[in-house]
Amino acid sequence: MATCGEVLVKLLEGYGVDHAFGIPGVHTVELYRGLAGSTIRHITPRHEQGAGFMADGYARTRGVPGVCFIITGPGMTNITTAMGQAFADSIPMLVISSVQSRNALGGGRGKLHELPDQRGLVAGVSAFSQTLMSADDLPQVLARAFAVFDGARPRPVHIEIPLDVLVEPADHLLPGRPIRVSRAAAAPTTVVQMATRLAQAQRPLILAGGGALAAGAALAALAEHLQAPVALTINAKGLMPADHPLQIGSTQSLPVTRELIGEADVVLAIGTELAETDYDVTFQGGFKIPGSLLRIDIDPDQTVRNYLPELALVADAEQAAQALLAAVQQQPAPQRQASWGTARAARLRQALAASWDQPSLSQTRLLKTLLQTLPEVVLVGDSTQPVYTGNLTLDMPAPRRWFNASTGYGTLGYALPAAMGAWLGSSAVIKQRAPVVCLIGDGGLQFTLPELASAVEAQVPLIILLWNNHGYEEIKKYMLNRDIKPVGVDIHTPDFIAVAQGLGAAAEQVNDVAQLQAALARAVERNKPTLLQVDQAQWQQAVHD
């Protein structure tokens, strides 16, 4: 007899799930009955928040949902922060939890791990949350979850299974077949209208976001045909190659880039929220789109948020970009201003290059050393200074290789477990697993430092690049700039090298480019994580000299 928990694992295998992140508990052991004999690899974090961040990083490199098995009550409260980050960045995540037996739901009887309403708890960080009231409903609920991942704006989904349902006989549900949903194609009439506006534009421009990652080839061809500069959000870095002459980076928050956007007479925004953390990282306001705005998004609601469009198209970004390219190519050959397109983009890049201050240049040198030494590297960032700088100064050669928690929800401690998930998921994107570097500060690392033990246990050879400035320096600066006496920001800094070695990882100090290059070469040869500590003051002095 196969229980509902065992059948769930089989059905997940049918949907292509090959990793699950979770911490076993008395309320989830029935899920593990079927796991040992399955093809799904289980990864055990040291905190359920880590499970969620691992699933997030896995989904970003792999392009499929990350799956978590989570205990009732405290497990669910622990994972909500990770769900919030994934929700903000439109990352697919399937969180499967236990819950009290059906006759005890909402009873307030003081049961182990009892919450009044788990579904209500996660309502704001999930596309939907559903209680499985019968094993018979399992195929339909899973189909609904994957319909969101496949056909809508991907976000976390929560399925909770009562303890008595987990042990229900469910043999009759085997073998189940996965139900997959195709994304919406572009409406032909609107495509033609948009193509006409773009073809007639004298100064077209494209704003592309993380929702358009699969549309890179079509968008590059469209930009070349239109001679339209392309600005990328932080989650879209690499959508167009770093050296493409029309690619203008992720600097929409800076005055010189805003000036260029202000000159555009038609702006195509595709797969982007046009939200604050991509277009106003200084949080001073002032971002404007004076030209005609055309918006493409998989989410109907998002097409009219933040900035109202002249035309909106609800569709899959890749299909829409391909249809738009074909339609534009049918239009009369555009007559662009000679000073627009590649010429205007080149002037912008020159102006940006001349604007970076010394700390930005030294931090960019750090990031470029990583790229030059490890050309296939995936960079997973936390909220820390080199990541803030790289969001502005660094362009990537390919998508899904730069993402971080400094935008959107903006949590600390994300990078270490997310980088671990990214390494586990990278094999589907790159034939040989690419090296993954976690970029994190000393404050952020203390949020999730125990996950270093998880990486050691799972033999995940992460490289943790620790930017150590001995406290919460960015918040301290913010306080001082507002004439607030700093409180709570000068925190104790442990001996991270000793701690990392105690957890089973390799660790060493690096303070200049040559030392970093040599340490990276050693790190990629290991089958365990390596922590490389960079002291901010020493690095900036060495690079400046």
User: What are the tens digits of pLDDT across the range 227-280?
Assistant: 999 999 999 999 999 999 999 999 999 999 999 999 999 999 999 999 988 898
Task: Please give the pLDDT value at position 114.
Answer: 74
DSSP state of 234: G
Task: Please give the pLDDT value at position 418.
Answer: 98
> Domain 4-173 falls in which CATH fold?
Rossmann fold (3.40.50)
Lowest mean pLDDT among 112-121, 160-169, 485-494: 112-121
pLDDT per residue as tens digits for the range 417-462: 999 999 999 875 555 678 999 999 999 999 999 999 999 999 999 9
1-10, 176-185, 203-212 — most confident range: 203-212
Q: Which residues pair with 468 in a beta bridge?
A: 535
188-353: same fold as 4-173?
yes
* Residue in the structure block whose two tokens are 């569709």: 315
Task: Please give the pLDDT value at position 211.
Answer: 95
Task: Please give the pLDDT value at position 288.
Answer: 94
Q: CA-to-CA distance for 92 and 152, rounded, in angstroms? A: 10
- Give the pLDDT band (50/70/90) at residue 375: very high
- Segment 164-193 shows an average pLDDT of 89
Q: Which residues pair with 66 in a beta bridge?
A: 93
Report the percent of the chain where pLDDT is more than 70: 99
**Do 165 and 30 meet the contact criterion of CB atoms below 8 Å apart?**
no
pLDDT per residue as tens digits for the range 283-298: 778 899 999 999 999 9
Task: Please give the pLDDT value at position 106.
Answer: 75
Task: Please give the pLDDT value at position 432.
Answer: 61
Write out the DSSP string of 355-418.
T--HHHHHHHHHHHHHHHHSTT-EEEE-SSHHHHHHHHH---SSTTSEEESSSTT--SS-HHHH
Ramachandran bin of 31, using left for φ above 0, alpha for ψ from -120 to 50, beta for the remaining angles: alpha
Task: Please give the pLDDT value at position 280.
Answer: 86
For the CA atoms of 448, 450, 452, 458, what is the dihedral angle to 10 degrees?
-120
**Do 288 and 258 meet the contact criterion of CB atoms below 8 Å apart?**
yes
Q: CA-to-CA distance for 259 and 257, rounded, in angstroms? A: 5
Residue ranges covered by each domain of the chain: 4-173, 188-353, 358-544
DSSP state of 187: P
Task: Please give the pLDDT value at position 472.
Answer: 85
The pTM score is 0.94
CA 459 to chain centre: 23
pLDDT per residue as tens digits for the range 93-122: 999 998 877 786 777 777 777 788 899 999
- How far, CA to CA in Å, does 244 sit from each of 223, 240, 249, 310, 395? 10, 7, 10, 29, 10
User: Phi and psi dihedrals of 282, rounded to 5?
Assistant: -85, -10
Q: Is the pLDDT of residue 213 over 60?
A: yes
Contacts of 488 (CB under 8 A, 6+ apart): 472
Q: CA-to-CA distance for 444 and 423, rounded, in angstroms? A: 20
Task: Please give the pLDDT value at position 429.
Answer: 53
DSSP state of 67: E
In our burial notation (b when 16+ CB lie closer than 10 A, e otherwise), range 276-295 reads bbbbebeeeeebebebbbbb
Q: Is the pLDDT of residue 475 over 90?
A: no
Closest CA to 250 of 402, 473, 56: 402
Q: Is the pLDDT of residue 81 over 80?
A: yes
Task: Say whether 492 sits in a helix, a strand or coil.
Answer: coil
**Do 161 and 136 meet the contact criterion of CB atoms below 8 Å apart?**
no
Q: CA-to-CA distance for 336 and 315, rounded, in angstroms? A: 28
- Segment 48-59 shows an average pLDDT of 98
Q: Is the pLDDT of residue 85 over 80?
A: yes
Task: Please give the pLDDT value at position 166.
Answer: 92
Q: CA-to-CA distance for 76 and 83, rounded, in angstroms? A: 10
User: Phi and psi dihedrals of 161, rounded to 5?
Assistant: -120, 115
Task: Please give the pLDDT value at position 175.
Answer: 77
Beta strands at 530-535 and 463-468: parallel, antiparallel or unpaired: parallel
Helices (H), 167-254: 188-200, 216-226
Q: Share the mean pLDDT of the chain.
A: 93
- Segment 337-354 shows an average pLDDT of 93
Four-way CATH pick for 358-544: 3.40.50.970, 1.10.3720.10, 3.40.47.10, 3.30.1050.10:
3.40.50.970
- In words, the CATH class of domain 188-353 is alpha beta
